């Protein structure tokens, strides 16, 4: 009688330093290289996995139970569905259980397959997270082969040629390819998403990898939104006669995307129209105003990041997803740092003195607070209302410090 043998691993995660982790495969079959990061959110895994800002990354969830509420078509954040998902892979602690939620339409494993996302379970995610915190975000390759027979030469070759995110423009891979209109408003229980019928307020959103819920928040404020590709010129944007310009979130190195985005943003600033940027849009605005950006050690990825508004002294609990940051010391005179991370003091917001131009590093639409930061959308639209001579709306948001 032979002894019991452990079933062979059906998934691998190999880091650039040679660290090899074995587990059980889920989702798509194959292999993909990316930068390995960790996300501390306890909820919203489907939104994370469809956030274009994660393009080029393998996401490790620190919360062990991912997939227990299944997946559906309402919680997808990707605007350009042709791009499917920029996420290269997902790393989990526990096996995916059957979904237990009335909104679940399918199991997460099947959903991952459809979106061509490779996953691995059974990993000590606490140890992996500790390694990233100590040594920074490594390049890695994730592989899934149900037979357990891996072509490791091919897998390691893909890891070897992956360049890393520094110097990489990924906005072009996830942006909308055509100009489009957006009128969907926020989700309501037992009603679903609404529609904005009529509005005198018009915002052009430059899509560097925009999230749907950001666009919904703009529509909730009464703005009809025109979405343009990341490569749209200032002339093409202004031809839509916008009242304001929104610079969206997105993936990759802002300095690389900035090669074509910054000259456009500079021309838009010169018009005097209100400008609002989020995440990559914040970084690109910082570059256009004369600042610089830098790669972060471990980045900020999660839904529990405290941010202080230096203009009011109030604190917001925010959602963040970025591996680059604006260097506060690089901001020239006339640019005010408005928000900082209370985790590490890094820049989390800026504004142009005397002009309706501002941005934040975090995601005010993601609602971890839950609505601590929604005042920013009101502020942006109030700048537009002021220029059009329309009555402004009261801001509401963060609790007192």
Reference 296, options 287, 285, 278, 283; nearest CA is 283
What are φ and ψ of residue 27, in 5° steps?
70, -145
- Please say whether the dihedral angle defined by the alpha carbons of residues 81, 76, 78 and 138, taken in this order, is positive or negative: negative
Among the options 31, 217, 279, 322, which is catalytic? 279
Q: Which residues pair with 224 in a beta bridge?
A: 202
Where residue 41 falls (left for φ over 0; alpha for ψ -120 to 50; beta otherwise) is: beta
Cα–Cα distance for residue pair 381/375, rounded to 1 Å: 10
Quick check: is 65 catalytic? no
Quick check: is 158 catalytic? no
Among the options 282, 300, 363, 383, which is catalytic? 363
Reference 288, options 197, 211, 350; nearest CA is 350
CA separation (Å) from 29 to 147, 182, 198, 249, 327? 11, 34, 46, 29, 40
**Which residue's structure tokens are 């379970």?**
121
Cα–Cα distance for residue pair 170/256, rounded to 1 Å: 9
* Residue 370: cis peptide before it, omega within 30 degrees of 0: yes
Quick check: is 365 catalytic? yes
Contact 175, 227 (CB under 8 A): no
What are φ and ψ of residue 304, in 5° steps?
-140, 35
In Å, the largest CA–CA distance within the chain is 86
Among the options 217, 365, 374, 383, which is catalytic? 365
Q: C-alpha angle 271/274/275, rounded to 5°?
A: 100
Active site residues: 279, 363, 365
């Amino acid at each position: 009688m032979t002894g019991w043998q452990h079933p062979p691993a059906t998934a691998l995660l190999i880091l650039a330093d040679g660290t090899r982790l074995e587990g059980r495969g889920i989702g798509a079959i194959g292999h993909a290289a990316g930068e390995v990061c960790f996300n501390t959110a306890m909820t919203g895994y489907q939104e994370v996995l469809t956030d274009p800002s994660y393009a080029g990354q393998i996401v490790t969830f620190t919360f062990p139970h991912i997939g227990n509420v299944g997946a559906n078509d309402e919680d997808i954040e990707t605007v350009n569905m042709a791009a499917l998902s920029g996420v290269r892979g997902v790393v989990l602690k526990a096996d995916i259980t059957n979904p237990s939620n009335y909104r679940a339409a399918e199991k997460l494993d099947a959903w991952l397959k459809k979106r061509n996302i490779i996953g691995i379970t059974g990993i000590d995610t606490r140890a992996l997270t500790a390694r990233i915190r100590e040594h920074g975000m490594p390049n890695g390759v994730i592989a899934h082969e149900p037979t357990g027979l891996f072509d490791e030469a091919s897998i390691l070759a893909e890891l070897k040629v992956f360049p890393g995110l520094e110097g990489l423009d990924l906005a072009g891979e996830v942006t909308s390819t055509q100009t489009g209109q957006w009128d969907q408003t926020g989700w309501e229980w037992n009603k679903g998403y609404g529609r904005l019928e009529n509005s005198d307020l018009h915002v052009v959103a430059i899509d560097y990898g925009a999230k749907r819920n950001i666009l919904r928040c703009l529509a909730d404020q009464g703005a009809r939104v025109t979405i343009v590709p990341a490569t749209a010129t200032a002339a093409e944007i202004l031809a839509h006669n916008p009242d304001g310009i929104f610079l969206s979130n997105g993936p990759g190195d802002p300095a690389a995307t900035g090669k074509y985005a910054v000259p456009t943003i500079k021309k838009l600033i010169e018009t005097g129209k209100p400008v609002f940027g989020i995440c990559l849009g914040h970084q690109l605005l910082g570059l256009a105003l004369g600042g610089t950006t830098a790669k972060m050690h471990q980045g900020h990825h999660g839904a529990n990041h405290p941010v202080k508004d230096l203009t009011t002294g109030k604190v917001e609990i925010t959602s963040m997803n970025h591996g680059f940051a604006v260097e506060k010391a690089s901001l020239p005179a006339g640019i005010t740092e408005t928000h900082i991370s209370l985790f590490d003091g890094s820049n989390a917001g800026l504004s142009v003195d005397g002009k309706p131009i501002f941005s934040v590093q975090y995601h005010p639409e993601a609602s971890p607070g839950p609505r601590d930061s929604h005042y920013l959308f009101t502020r942006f639209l109030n700048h537009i209302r002021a220029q059009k001579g329309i009555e402004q709306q009261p801001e509401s948001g963060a609790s007192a410090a």
